Amino acid sequence: MFRSFLSLFLLLKCVALTPSMRRPSCHEVRAAFQLQQVGRGRLVPEVPVEESDLQICQNKAPTCCTRRMEESYQAAVKQELFHNIQALNFELKFMIVGHMSAFQETFDSVIRVATNHTMALFHSTYLLLAPDVEDPIKELFTDISLYILGEEIPVEGAVSRFFDALFPLVYNRLLNPDMASLSEEYLECLRLTRKDINPFGSYPSAAVTNLSKSLWASRMMNKALSLAVQVINTTEHAGLTKECIRALVRMQYCPHCQGFTLIRPCVGYCLNVMRGCLASLADLEIPWRNFITLLEHLAGQMSGSHDLELALLGIQDMVKEAIQHAESHGSDLTSMVDKVCGKPQESLVRIHTDVTTQVDPKVEMPTPATLLPPGHMRSSLPLKASKNDKPRNLKRISREFINYMKLSRTFYASFAERLCDGDLAVRDGSTCWNGDDVVESYTNMVVSNGVKAQTNNPEVKVRGLNLHIRQTIERLQQFTQMGTEKRIKPERWRFVEGSGGDGTGEDADPSGDCDDEDGCQGSGGTEQIDTKKHSEDSRRGKSSTKVLNLPNPSATKISDSQKNLSGTGSRITISSTMLVALFILRECMSQL
């Protein structure tokens, strides 16, 4: 019995002495090293060693870390912070990219419906023009679509090209329906002189003004969405400084070297490290706030006074009124065209006399079924889009988007707080890591956000603003400034189409924000032809044109290829003196 008691006593004594006599091990450090996928377990020593070449986790006591482990830890903290920032960005980026897609689909839908509406006008009201006006209509709305997407295609040029192409058709088919097909040279003369003859009154310039307002807001919104994605991408790939990486290793992995694999950083310590590492991102706060304010303004324009859907669908009515204006001044326009371009050859004109006339057999003459009286109106086709061809609600999409974006005003100001609020750090009152040892609380000063505030940061040395972030801030500021200046103090540009019976040339605002008192609305006036010299580069690569000074019309452009046009026994040349002489002679002959 005594032996049994003695054996039990010795056993208990051995058990009691085992922990203190157990040999130190780095087993838990190796397990954490592999579990967190920092590196291969073989890099971790079996037992703590005296390591003298450590650069970050320096400690006088034996350590479970080596220089190669420190290198793996540096790569790990870079990857971890990247993923953490990416996770914080994910929701915002997902919403922006989703709305980019929704806006694009809506723009496409609105463009398609507006194109169909405008084409329906010709099929229902001006059937004679329908076959040949389809391409100019498609070109107009294609240019508008490209402009919204950011291409440098001026709205003025797109509208001008459309009315240039429309005038020869209106002149031939509506104003002079008895006239057969005109030669290409004569049609080109009509296109080149359209602005100066001004058959459509102030409607082209009014169309530019109305479209510029709405298209500018949509174009800016599209650019803003792309810029927002660029900002988010920059924050994810801005790069970390060497001081930041060392501070992150010291905060997250240096306690492992002493065997404290479950100890987390103190929250104050975490904030200092993260605010130092993300100081440049915090400086995005003010530019980002101003950017969101501009987005609110753009969204308000798109769903309010500068509704894109109404502007594009209104092109149909604008074109209709422009054609009606030309029809109401048909005789005057024909007289002007005769003076500028001459009369077509007799073989191309259908002459209604009792004498049989010789008509060129090669010319395709309009059939009675297609040749309707001037000012005809057909109403067999509906002018409204079908129920299955409605555009998506741009107003609703804009409201949803801006309501979400308002919530992101403080997105970059709270980056560090959100990172430290998770599982990364623990609040004071719990045992935590302060960068050197395990403590009850962090006692150093906690700095605020931003690069300037990091001067007193005890954990991270910040040398200045990150280059990529600085460039991003500048882009945000430039974009916001451009949008704000055009909204508050618009830069005006003059688009002069000339004036007919409806008004004069207008001041149009390319920013899309021009009030009535700024001169953006056309007003009535006396009928006159603009005498100012216009300069326009032809989209089709035509040669430069010269201005002819005529008594009335007073300004006309004729290309070099139009120097010699067939007329009624006369020839138009580039000499303005000769043309005036011919005009005077013609007037004298008419009086005899």
SS3 of residue 354 by DSSP = coil
Asked whether the predicted pLDDT for residue 233 surpasses 80, the reply is: yes
SS3 of residue 556 by DSSP = strand
Q: What's the confidence (pLDDT) of residue 485? A: 75
Q: Establish whether the linkage from the previous residue to 553 is cis, with ω within 30° of 0.
A: yes
Q: What's the confidence (pLDDT) of residue 299? A: 84
> Does the model's pTM come out above 0.75?
no
Asked whether the predicted pLDDT for residue 54 surpasses 60, the reply is: yes
Residue range 113-127: mean pLDDT, rounded: 93
116 exposure class (CB count in 10 Å sphere: 0-12, 13-18, 19+) = middle
What's the half-sphere exposure (Cβ side, CA atoms, 13 Å) at 146? Answer: 13
Asked whether the predicted pLDDT for residue 232 surpasses 90, the reply is: yes
pLDDT in tens, 313-361: 999 999 999 999 999 998 899 889 988 888 876 444 443 333 333 334 3
**In which band, very low, low, confident or very high, does the pLDDT at 488 lie, cut at 50, 70 and 90?**
very low
SS3 letters for 416-455?
HHHHHCCCCCECCCCCEECCCCEECCCCCCCCCCCCHHHH
Residue range 65-92: mean pLDDT, rounded: 92
Residue range 373-383: mean pLDDT, rounded: 36
Q: Do the bridges between strand 438-439 and strand 545-548 make them parallel or antiparallel, or are there none, so unpaired?
A: unpaired
SS3 of residue 492 by DSSP = coil
Q: What is the crossing angle of helices 242-252 and 267-277, to 10°? A: 160
**In which band, very low, low, confident or very high, does the pLDDT at 367 lie, cut at 50, 70 and 90?**
very low
Task: Evaluate whether 270 touches 251 at the Cβ level (below 8 Å).
Answer: yes
Contacts of 522 (CB under 8 A, 6+ apart): 202, 205, 206, 209, 502, 503, 504, 506
Distance CA(576)–CA(145), nearest Å, equals: 41
| 571, β-bridge pairs | 566
Task: Evaluate whether 276 touches 462 at the Cβ level (below 8 Å).
Answer: yes
Q: What's the confidence (pLDDT) of residue 455? A: 92
Distance CA(400)–CA(438), nearest Å, equals: 48
Asked whether the predicted pLDDT for residue 438 surpasses 60, the reply is: yes
Asked whether the predicted pLDDT for residue 536 surpasses 70, the reply is: no
Length of the chain: 592
Contacts of 417 (CB under 8 A, 6+ apart): 271
Alpha-carbon distance values, 6 to 2, 3, 9, 19 (Å)? 6, 5, 5, 22
Q: What's the confidence (pLDDT) of residue 43? A: 87
Neighbours of 505 (CB within 10 A): 17
**In which band, very low, low, confident or very high, does the pLDDT at 291 lie, cut at 50, 70 and 90?**
very high
Asked whether the predicted pLDDT for residue 544 surpasses 80, the reply is: no
Distance CA(567)–CA(392), nearest Å, equals: 52
Distance CA(174)–CA(562), nearest Å, equals: 24
**In which band, very low, low, confident or very high, does the pLDDT at 287 lie, cut at 50, 70 and 90?**
very high
Window from 281-295, 317-331, 378-392, 514-528 with minimum mean pLDDT? 514-528
Instruction: Tell which wins on pLDDT, 571 or 127.
Output: 127
Asked whether the predicted pLDDT for residue 210 surpasses 60, the reply is: yes
Distance CA(190)–CA(199), nearest Å, equals: 10
Residue range 63-83: mean pLDDT, rounded: 92
pLDDT in tens, 137-147: 999 999 999 99
Q: Which of 212-221, 418-427, 468-477, 576-585 has the highest mean pLDDT?
A: 468-477
Q: Tokens 């089709």 sit at which residue? A: 540
Contacts made by residues 145-153, CB under 8 angstroms, sequence distance 24+: 145/107, 145/108, 145/111, 147/215, 147/219, 148/107, 148/215, 148/218, 148/219, 148/222, 149/219, 149/222, 150/219, 150/222, 150/223, 150/226
Q: What is the largest CA-CA distance in the chain?
A: 158
Residue range 151-165: mean pLDDT, rounded: 93
Neighbours of 221 (CB within 10 A): 27
Query: CA 300 from chain center: how many Å?
Result: 16
Q: What's the confidence (pLDDT) of residue 406? A: 87
**Residue 60: left (phi > 0), alpha (psi -120 to 50), or beta?**
alpha
Distance CA(101)–CA(123), nearest Å, equals: 33
**In which band, very low, low, confident or very high, does the pLDDT at 392 lie, cut at 50, 70 and 90?**
low
**Token couple for 4:** 């049994």
**In which band, very low, low, confident or very high, does the pLDDT at 531 lie, cut at 50, 70 and 90?**
very low
Distance CA(202)–CA(532), nearest Å, equals: 15
Asked whether the predicted pLDDT for residue 506 surpasses 60, the reply is: no
Q: Do the bridges between strand 432-433 and strand 438-439 make them parallel or antiparallel, or are there none, so unpaired?
A: antiparallel
Average pLDDT, the chain: 74
Of all residues in the chain, what percent carry a pLDDT higher than 90? 36
Task: Evaluate whether 245 touches 79 at the Cβ level (below 8 Å).
Answer: no
Distance CA(1)–CA(539), nearest Å, equals: 115
Q: What's the confidence (pLDDT) of residue 589? A: 52
**Token couple for 474:** 């500048």
